[in-house]
Structure 1
Amino acid sequence: MDISVIIARMICVVYLSVGMGFAFSTAYYNQAFRKIVNDSTYLFLGGWVATCMGAVLVHIHNLWVNDWRLLITIISWTILLKGITLLAFPRAIRLFEEWFTPRGIQNYFLPIVIMLGLIFGYFGFFA
Structure 2
Amino acid sequence: MERSLFLARLLGPTFLAVALGMLVNLSMYETIIAEGLHAGILLYLSGFLSLLAGLAIVNLHNRWQMDWRVVITVLGWLMTIGGTVRIVLPQVAIAVGSTIYSGRASVIVAALTTGALGAFLSVKGYMQRF
Mark yes or no: TM-score above 0.5.
yes
Q: Is the 8 A contact 1:30 1:102 kept in 2?
A: yes
Deviates further, 109-118 or 93-102: 93-102
Q: Where does residue 91 of structure 1 map in the other structure? A: 91
Q: Is the 8 A contact 1:22 1:29 kept in 2?
A: yes
Equivalent pairs: percent with the same residue?
Answer: 21
Q: Which letter does structure 1 place at the counterpart of 2:105?
A: R
Q: Is the 8 A contact 1:63 1:73 kept in 2?
A: yes
Q: Is the 8 A contact 1:98 1:104 kept in 2?
A: no
Q: Displacement, 1:98?
A: 3.9
Q: Which letter does structure 2 place at the counterpart of 1:114?
A: G
Q: Displacement, 1:95?
A: 1.9
Q: Is the 8 A contact 2:19 2:114 kept in 1?
A: yes
5+ residue gaps in structure 1? none
Q: Distance in 2 between matches of 1:16 and 1:52?
A: 21
Q: Where does residue 22 of structure 2 map in the other structure? A: 22
Question: How large is the RMSD of aligned CA atoms in angstroms?
Answer: 1.1
- Bigger helix fraction: 1
Q: Where does residue 122 of structure 1 map in the other structure? A: 123
TM value normalised by structure 2: 0.91
Runs (4+) of structure 1 exceeding 6 A deviation are none
1:75 aligns with 2:75: yes
Q: Where does residue 104 of structure 2 map in the other structure? A: 102
5+ residue gaps in structure 2? none
TM value normalised by structure 1: 0.93
